[in-house]
Amino acid sequence: MQLGVDSEHYDLLIIGGGINGAGIARDAAGRGLKVLLVEQNDLASATSSASTKLIHGGLRYLEYFEFRLVAEALAERETLLKIAPHIIWPLEFVLPHESHLRPAWMIRAGLFLYDHLGHRMLGFGSKSSLPMSKGVRLADNGYGAGLKPEFKRGFVYYDCWVDDARLVVLNARSAAAHGATIQTHTRFVSARREGGEWAATLNGERGIRTVRASAIVNAAGPWVRQVLDEALRIRLPATVRLVKGSHIVVPRIHEERHAFILQNPDRRVIFMIPYERQFTLVGTTDVPVTRDDYRAKISRKEIDYLCE
Ligand SMILES: Cc1cc2nc3c(=O)[nH]c(=O)nc-3n(C[C@H](O)[C@H](O)[C@H](O)COP(=O)(O)OP(=O)(O)OC[C@H]3O[C@@H](n4cnc5c(N)ncnc54)[C@H](O)[C@@H]3O)c2cc1C
């Protein structure tokens, strides 16, 4: 192990090589800032490769009147689809109708908003490149494949699928192409203020060394609080609530190309998404975890919940 001082000064030191760290690195490097991103493991080794792999506006957030959030996410969906069509593509969702959970008029109204909300953000006269939602008979076009026959009607709408880990790597590569330094297997250990800037200690393949930076971005995902408390020693009153969302992978439940969005009796939604040709990805759960449980694993109870 070597000790060293990196004499170079960075405008921005980013902790974490997930989608947030990589995206911020790309944006900052594109604006001409001198960027160093450090990732303790590999790029996308944590949450950003274990997502449901959707680029979506968040249909369910409409129920909480989060119109702006959904509109912004829909506009971003359009942008991402344009710039990375080789790893992001449209995915058709079938929502079987269960009138005792949500009335049809409510779903129709929600989908109408979902079809149109993103346009204003994209600019006058712009349109989503994805097809509009519609009501369907599940017996048509194989929409009911894999469902119990008692489901007769449903709705179809579109979002996008993404190779989440590749999106992270492509952002990091683009950041590097704009001059950012990306160092994997390098842990941010601590930092202190020195002469109006940060002197940060890193531990990686090049040994323990110190770099200087004008600003630090804490994009450590589930470790965000640990970095604040233990590495930066900054006390903030705000708390971070950690939750785990688990998926199960089962043999493919139907041969059609569509995914399902299912309404659970607890009003949560569960996605069933065609995955790696032969499989279906089912998720997620939403379970609080403690700070000591960073490598969260699915529990028997969660598996039962997803299989219900
Ligand atoms: C079950 C589930 C499903 C989801 N589905 C979707 C979805 O379909 N679509 C969507 O858009 N979003 C989805 N999300 C949300 C999305 O996945 C997360 O918001 C996103 O991945 C978080 O990225 P991040 O970069 O903040 O964190 P992470 O990807 O966790 O990255 C943080 C990184 O920081 C590194 N790190 C931590 N401490 C240090 C240190 N001291 N030094 C160096 N590196 C450090 C870690 O190793 C890690 O790689 C989902 C989330 C979950 C949990």
Name the CA dihedral angle for 130, 135, 139, 142, rounded to a multiple of 10 degrees. Answer: 10
Architecture (CATH level 2) of domain 55-162+241-307: 2-Layer Sandwich (3.30)
- What is the reported pLDDT for 265? 81
For residue 45, report the distance from its CA to the centre of ligand 1, in Å: 8
Give the separation between CA 95 and CA 180, rounded to whole angstroms.
43
- Which atom in ligand 1 lies closest to the alpha carbon of residue 16? 34
For residue 191, report the distance from its CA to the centre of ligand 1, in Å: 22
- What is the reported pLDDT for 135? 96
Residue nearest to atom 52 of ligand 1 (CA): 51
For residue 11, report the distance from its CA to the centre of ligand 1, in Å: 23
Which residues form the pocket of ligand 1, taking CB atoms under 6 Å from any ligand atom?
A: 15-21, 38-41, 45-48, 51-54, 187-188, 219-223, 227, 231, 245, 284
Domain ranges for the chain: 3-48+166-231, 55-162+241-307
CA angle 249, 139, 250 (to 5 degrees): 5
For residue 226, report the distance from its CA to the centre of ligand 1, in Å: 15
Residue type, 53: K
Distance between alpha carbon 46 and the CA centroid of its chain, in Å? 11
Q: What is the DSSP string of 249-297?
A: EEE-S-SSS-EEEEE-TTS-EEEEEEETTTEEEEE---EE--TT--S--
- What is the reported pLDDT for 296? 75
For the chain (308 residues), the mean pLDDT of every run of 10, in chain order, is: 59 98 98 98 96 94 93 94 95 92 91 87 77 94 89 95 98 97 97 95 92 98 93 88 94 94 88 95 92 79 92
CATH for 3-48+166-231 is: 3.50.50.60
